[in-house]
Copies of this chain bind each other. A is one copy, B any other.
Amino acid sequence: MLNVYLSGEIHTDWRDQIEAGAKGLNITFSAPVTDHGASDDCGVAILGAEPDKFWHDRKGAQLNAIRTRMGIEEADVVVVRFGDKYKQWNAAFDAGYAAALGKALIILQPEEHDHALKEVDAAALAVARTSDQVVQILRYVLEGTLPKA
C-alpha cells in the first residue's frame, strides 16, 4: 500500500483527477485542508479572534501544520503541485520539508515555471506536467505497468 500526500495548489481539481485516475490502485491519499476559507480562519475560529492579522494567520498556520506535517511524514510519495497564480511558498516549503525527510518527491508544474523551480525539481524523482502523468507514475510504481503507446 502506498501513502501519497498531495501538496500545493488548491484552486483547481487536480487532486480529484489524480484520485479518480488512481481508482483501483492500492493507494491512500492525504492532503491539506483545501477549503480556502477554513484554512485561513481555522485558528481564530477555534481559539479566539486576533486583532492583528499576523497572529490571526499564525494561529491558523500552526493548526494547519498539525495536518500537513503528519501528512508528509506518513507519506511514501509527496506530490507538490505548482499552479499559475499566487506565490505558492507553502508548496515550495512542503517540497523542501519532504526532501529533507528523504521522501520520494514528484513535482507537478507547467513548463513556464521550469527555471524558477529548478532547485525544487532537482530534489524530485519526477517532474510531471499533467495529473494523468502522476497517475501513470503511481500505477507504474505499484504495478510495473506502462500506459499503452
Cα A133 to Cα B126 in complex, Å, equals 26
Question: When the two chains form their complex, are residues B38 and A144 in contact, meaning their CB atoms are under 8 A apart?
Answer: yes
The answer, among B57, B68, B70, B118, for a CB contact under 8 Å with A58, is B118
Name the B residues within 8 Å of A145 (CB-CB).
38
The answer, among B46, B97, B140, for a CB contact under 8 Å with A33, is B140
Cα A125 to Cα B55 in complex, Å, equals 13
Question: When the two chains form their complex, are residues B120 and A65 in contact, meaning their CB atoms are under 8 A apart?
Answer: no
A-B residue pairs, 5 tightest by C-beta: A96-B96, A92-B92, A61-B122, A100-B100, A93-B96
Name the B residues within 8 Å of A137 (CB-CB).
46-47, 63, 66
Cα A35 to Cα B101 in complex, Å, equals 29
A26 at interface by CB-CB < 8 Å: no
Give the residue among A46, A95, A149 with the most B Cβ atoms within 10 A: A46
Name the B residues within 8 Å of A46 (CB-CB).
128, 133, 136-137, 140, 146-147
Question: When the two chains form their complex, are residues B93 and A127 in contact, meaning their CB atoms are under 8 A apart?
Answer: no
Cα A41 to Cα B89 in complex, Å, equals 25
Name the B residues within 8 Å of A127 (CB-CB).
47, 54
* A residues 37-85 touching B (CB-CB < 8 Å): 38, 41-43, 45-48, 51-55, 57-70, 76-77, 82
Question: When the two chains form their complex, are residues A104 and B66 in contact, meaning their CB atoms are under 8 A apart?
Answer: yes
Known: A87-B113, A97-B97, A145-B38. A125 touches B57 (CB 8 A): no
